[in-house]
Homo-oligomer: A and B are copies of this chain.
Amino acid sequence: MRIKDIAKLAGVSPATVSRVMNNNGYVKDEKREAVLKVIKEVDYQPNSIAKSLKNQKSHMLGVIVPKISTETASRVVSGVTEVAKAHGYQVLIANTDLDIEEEINYLKFLSNKSVDGIVMMGTEITDRHLEVMDKLTVPIVILGQEVFGYTSIIHNDYEASYQMTAYLISQGHKAIAFIGVSEKDKAVGVIRKNGYLDCIKDHGLEVDEELMAIGDFDIDTGYQMMNKVLEKKIPTAVYAVTDHLAIGATHALLDKGYRVPEDVSVVGIGDIKLAEYLNPPLTTVHYTFKTSGKMAAEVVFDLIHRVRTKGECLMTTFELKKRASVKNIR
């Protein structure tokens, strides 16, 4: 069913139908009624692809995520879709499965006017990324990493990490193990580590390399890294840079016969949904990923409508969730 068919049925021209549909231009009331009646009768749906071609905008937002099946990503997508819907937009998902080539391909693909704006959840941002992003004609917002010259939305990783470490110290902990990830991920790998290191130093404690381990993002890695540390030292507290790593670490401790938090306290970052239902409930930092997603989408729309200029870096808030996984040993 095309606009032409509606026109014929309503006894008007296609232009009139278009005017009615888009509420623009003058149409005599009776003709408008006639058109609307036909539209309702046949349940006419305009072809959005043709509209896109004509109007040079697709009413679609692209979201590039490293792994959709993670809680973080799905919360972000949830936020983005919510805002997109409010603007009458659809959301196109590009799931890269942590493949950098894929990420670059999608950037290219999405740029050829098939979406009006892009939200990219950043992990590792390479020079290749920047090269492609330079040529982008549609607005892009990077979520989770600060990228110079581009609009970014970041979590206050440094401050969160610092405060978490400070909290452990305030509870009397001095031997605080650190379970981190590769420096390729600047926000999680570098900035969170710096928050930890600076806080340790600022409080006059010694940085102990033997208490530190670096690995991947999954629960299993947390388990292994914890064991690696335990071979050398027994900390009184463990700071893992994600909740999943914290869960893995907790299990390593339990398997070795340590009690949490009686013998060793454990904290994470991220506040996954189940954090408070774990046993013991996990002390962590609550990042508002859904809110970040919403914010990213809002900012993309601002950029699309040119009511904001490219290059800003916004920071979201966080909240320390103090739960039973930390024991005061002071």
Residues of B within 8 A of A73 (CB): 74
With both chains docked as a complex, state the minimum distance between the C-beta of A29 and any C-beta of chain B, in angstroms. Answer: 27
Residues of B within 8 A of A93 (CB): 77, 81, 90-93
Pair B135/A43 contact, Cβ less than 8 Å: yes
With both chains docked as a complex, state the minimum distance between the C-beta of A33 and any C-beta of chain B, in angstroms. Answer: 22
Task: Tell me which of A109-117, A139-147, A154-162, A310-318 binds B.
Answer: A109-117
> Could you tell me the distance between the alpha carbons of A71 and B71 in the complex, rounded to whole angstroms?
7
Pair A290/B45 contact, Cβ less than 8 Å: no
Question: Given A69-B290, A92-B91, A112 and B78 touching (CB < 8 A)?
Answer: no
With both chains docked as a complex, state the minimum distance between the C-beta of A32 and any C-beta of chain B, in angstroms. Answer: 22
> Could you tell me the distance between the alpha carbons of A69 and B192 in the complex, rounded to whole angstroms?
25
Report if A221 contacts B (CB, 8 A).
no
Sample of 20 A–B contacts (CB below 8 Å): A45-B112, A46-B112, A47-B112, A47-B114, A48-B109, A67-B78, A68-B74, A68-B77, A69-B71, A69-B290, A71-B74, A74-B74, A82-B97, A90-B93, A90-B94, A92-B93, A93-B93, A251-B277, A277-B278, A278-B279
Which residues of A are in contact with B by a Cβ distance under 8 Å? 43, 45-50, 52-53, 58, 60, 67-71, 73-75, 77-78, 81-82, 85, 90-95, 97, 108-109, 111-114, 135, 219, 247, 251, 272, 274, 277-279, 290
